Amino acid sequence: MTNNTAAHIEIRNLTMAYGSFVIQRDLNFDINRGDIFVIMGGSGCGKSTLLKHMLGLITPKKGDILYNGDSFVNASSEQQDAVRQHWGITYQSGGLFSAMTLAENINLPLQLYTNYSKSEIADIIAYKLALVGLAGYQDYYPSEISGGMRKRAALARAIALDPEILFFDEPSAGLDPISSRLLDELIVQMKESLGATVVMVTHELPSIFDIATNSIYLDANTRTMIGYGDPQYLRDHSDQVVVKQFLARGIEPKKTTGEY
Amino acid sequence: MSTKASGFQLIPDTTDKISLVLQGDWTQDQQSPDFSGLHSALQSNASLRHLLVTGSDLDEWDSTLMAFLLQCHNYCQANNIDFKTQNLPDGAEKLLEVATAVAPHQRPEDAKKSWLVSVSPANIIKYFTSSLAFIGEVAIALAKLVAGKSNTRMVDFKTFCYEAGPSAFAIISLVSVLVGMILAYLGAVQLAQFGAEVYVADLVVVGILREMGVLMTAIVIAGRTGAAYAAQLGTMQTNDEIDAIITMGISPIEFLVIPRILALVLVMPLLTIYANLLGIIGGGIVAGSMDISPLQYIHQAGGALSWTHISVGLIKSIVFALLIAVAGCRAGINSGRSSAAVGQAATQAVVTSIVYLIIADAAINIISQQIGV
Ligand SMILES: Nc1ncnc2c1ncn2[C@@H]1O[C@H](COP(=O)(O)OP(=O)(O)OP(=O)(O)O)[C@@H](O)[C@H]1O
Ligand SMILES: [Mg+2]
């Protein structure tokens, strides 16, 4: 049994770079089991890059990433694959297989990693699509549905195996407010029913304040994290003006004299 | 963790009301009943109007349970049965709510495509007319270019020239030297029967200049550059880049197709001259090994050389370049929007260009025989 109090994911002194171009340096933070952890920051500050490091798609320049206390960076590729089996991931531009229908996309992990029968798999696919509001779209190709629908379909594939950790890169970008709220609801439900940990990149302030339990803010100028904590707390008490501005939709915060 | 067998029980309450009692663990690694069993039980009960799902006896559960519940819900909805749940685990209740928030989508019948349709005569005619339309558009764009009113960019033209030409040198060198050698071997064996080995030079020169030099170059370029054109344009199609070009008010033909065609039309004759030269040298290597002195070979080859042979080869190279570029670009522009479609576009580009090449080659040979060159 895994220890429930220890951090699920630990980032230690992580420095990320493309060649000699350093994106972010000296990142240190913990993500606890059951957190909905949001990575925030201006466009181009390295949020997707951080996610790709956590997924093991890019090797860090320096530092380590630990899952359940074990180093992921130094693990063999077989070990990494074993860990990844319990993850669900959506990419910023979807990552759906364009040559497969939505049903085939979701079928792939189910067929590879479970021993469900064909008819059970069909039921599961119907259920996962219904969860993201795409019931009945089994036989569509990704090119036949809208951009926001593709985002949701990618999410349905990500949750196919009831994962332990969910990584989302801007899951609600391009969704209308209602779908976006349903998506937030879904993320919270996934977390509660599966006990999953959610790591997501998002700019949607309503979802950040509604569902995030912890967050970091990456700064593009200083190239490091300048905020770490509950977003509501950061908005009201951060000592960094940019962070407050970001969380207040760019509005310059009032000088904190007495009550805010 | 207890592992109780999972299952359900149907308990009739009144004639039109049934309780569905769920029991045990409903998880992935458990043999859980699937919906078909319940389906037939429900169907046999025509007077059923209310279904009450009770979850108080449930233990562990995951998506297996949820998939089952969703099927129940959908069945009830389709058959006007009132679907209610009680004592379900809190999470399951909420997930079911999320899953049923949006009504299922019904796919319109005509949207489903059949593969049989794709090879009907009507489609073949459509293919030819659309090919003609494409060639027409290319011609109009070329006319605009000549009139100086085109959106074709010089930078692109230069890049494509480089990609089609210098970077193909290595493979063209290898292929043409070997083809020259093959021709020489073939000829030498036959000519030796008449003691006329020295005419190998004539055979190689005429064979390479009129036929093999240009044809081999064209086949290499069709596989290399034609397929690349199709893949580039097909990928642009999947990324909405072609839509972006159109909405910027730029004709994709002028912007994407013309520079590619022009580059190939310029580069192919040059590559052909290079291939011809290497092919003749290749023939010389074989001739040398068959006791024909280099001087003799050069002298004999010089005699066989004529502007007619060279021009026939060069005219062919221009025609072939046009065909390869048009086939490649057309396949790319008409590509579908998936990774598989881009692959099909590349395949189609190579296959159609090779068919076009052989047909055009035969046609040019017949014409030149008729007019006696
Ligand atoms: N493959 C790459 N090679 C080199 N540099 C890259 C690469 N991918 C991203 N970058 C650079 O890394 C920086 C961070 O990119 P990243 O995609 O992580 O940004 P982001 O925070 O996710 O932005 P957005 O919110 O716009 O998605 C950018 O300056 C970008 O130019
Ligand atoms: Mg990003």
Query: Which three-class secondary structure string do you get for A39-88?
Result: EEECCCCCHHHHHHHHCCCCCCCEEEEEECCEECCCCCHHHHHHHHCCEE
Q: Is B59 strand, coil or helix?
A: strand
- Residue B296 is assigned to a structural domain of this protein: yes
Asked whether residue A101 carries a pLDDT value surpassing 50, the answer given is yes
For chain A, report the end-to-end CA distance as a whole number of angstroms: 45
Asked whether residue A195 carries a pLDDT value surpassing 60, the answer given is yes
Q: DSSP assignment of B119-179, as one string?
A: GSHHHHHHHHHHHHHHHHHHHHHHHHHHTT-----HHHHHHHHHHHTGGGHHHHHHHHHHH
Domains of chain A: 34-45+84-247 (3.40.50.300)
Q: What are the tens digits of pLDDT across the range A126-182? A: 999 999 989 999 999 998 898 888 888 999 999 998 899 999 999 888 788 888 888
| pTM (predicted TM-score) | 0.74
Q: What are the tens digits of pLDDT across the range B291-307? A: 888 899 999 999 999 99
Is the same domain home to B161 and B40? no
Q: What are the tens digits of pLDDT across the range A48-75? A: 999 999 998 899 999 999 999 999 999 9
Is the same domain home to B90 and B167? no
Residue where a domain terminates, one of B58, B83, B99? B99
- Residue B323 is assigned to a structural domain of this protein: yes
Q: Which is the closest atom of ligand 1 to the Cα of A203?
A: 25
pLDDT score for A192 = 85
Is the same domain home to B232 and B295? yes
Pick from A124, A140, A178, A192 the residue to mutate for testing the B interface (most B CBs within 10 Å).
A124
Residue where a domain terminates, one of B39, B71, B99? B99
- Alpha-carbon gap, residue B193 to A35, rounded angstroms: 88
Is the same domain home to B40 and B181? no
Is the same domain home to B37 and B166? no
Q: Answer yes or no: do B66 and A127 touch at CB < 8 A.
A: yes
pLDDT score for A109 = 87
Is the same domain home to B253 and B354? yes
pLDDT score for A5 = 55
Asked whether residue A89 carries a pLDDT value surpassing 70, the answer given is yes
Residue B172 dihedral angles phi and psi, to the nearest 5°: -65, -40
Radius of gyration of chain A, Cα coordinates, nearest whole angstrom? 19
- Asked whether the beta carbons of B162 and B154 are under 8 A apart, the reply is no
Pick from A86, A114, A119, A127 the residue to mutate for testing the B interface (most B CBs within 10 Å).
A127
Residue A65 Cα, gap to closest chain B Cα (Å) = 29
Q: List chain B residues with CB under 8 Å of A130.
A: 70, 99-100, 102, 104
The DSSP symbol for B253 reads I
Q: What are the tens digits of pLDDT across the range B71-121? A: 999 999 888 899 999 999 888 888 898 888 888 888 777 655 555 556 778
Asked whether residue B343 carries a pLDDT value surpassing 90, the answer given is yes
Asked whether residue B217 carries a pLDDT value surpassing 90, the answer given is yes
- Residue B90 is assigned to a structural domain of this protein: yes
- Residue B131 is assigned to a structural domain of this protein: no
Q: What is the mean pLDDT of residues B178-182?
A: 96
- Residue B124 is assigned to a structural domain of this protein: no
Q: Is A44 in the pocket of ligand 1 (CB under 6 A)?
A: yes
- Residue B14 is assigned to a structural domain of this protein: yes
Is the same domain home to B218 and B350? yes
CATH of the domain at B94: 3.30.750.24
Is the same domain home to B88 and B210? no
Residue A70 Cα, gap to closest chain B Cα (Å) = 26
pLDDT score for B268 = 96
pLDDT score for B366 = 96
Q: List chain B residues with CB under 8 Å of A141.
A: 338
Residue where a domain terminates, one of B73, B99, B125? B99
Give the pLDDT band (50/70/90) at residue B2.
Answer: very low
The amino acid at residue A204 is E
Give the pLDDT band (50/70/90) at residue A258.
Answer: very low
The residues near A57 (Cβ < 8 Å, ≥ 6 apart) are none
Using a CB cutoff of 5 Å, list residues around ligand 2, an ion.
Answer: A 48, 92
Residue B60 Cα, gap to closest chain A Cα (Å) = 11
Nearest beta carbon to residue A127 from set B99, B112, B336: B99
- Alpha-carbon gap, residue A83 to B12, rounded angstroms: 47
Is the same domain home to B302 and B186? yes
- Residue B49 is assigned to a structural domain of this protein: yes
Closest by CA position to A144, among listed A180, A175, A102: A102
Q: List chain B residues with CB under 8 Å of A127.
A: 63, 66-67, 70, 99
- Residue B132 is assigned to a structural domain of this protein: no
Asked whether residue A30 carries a pLDDT value surpassing 60, the answer given is yes
**What separation in angstroms does the CA of A113 have from each of A57, A89, B32, B140?**
21, 16, 17, 55
Asked whether residue B48 carries a pLDDT value surpassing 80, the answer given is yes
| Exposure string for B126-146, b = 16+ CB within 10 A, e = fewer | eeeeeeeebeebbeebbebbe
The backbone region for A37, taken as left when phi is positive above 0, alpha when psi lies in -120 to 50, beta otherwise, is beta
Is the same domain home to B92 and B157? no
Is the same domain home to B291 and B352? yes
Question: What is chain B's mean pLDDT, rounded?
Answer: 89
- Alpha-carbon gap, residue B251 to B265, rounded angstroms: 21
Q: DSSP assignment of B73-130, as one string?
A: HHHHHHTT-EEEEES--HHHHHHHHHHTSSPPPPPPGGGS--SGGGGSHHHHHHHHHH
Q: Give the structural domain span for B92.
A: 7-99
Is the same domain home to B187 and B59? no
Q: How many domains does chain B fold into?
A: 2
- Asked whether the beta carbons of B32 and A93 are under 8 A apart, the reply is no
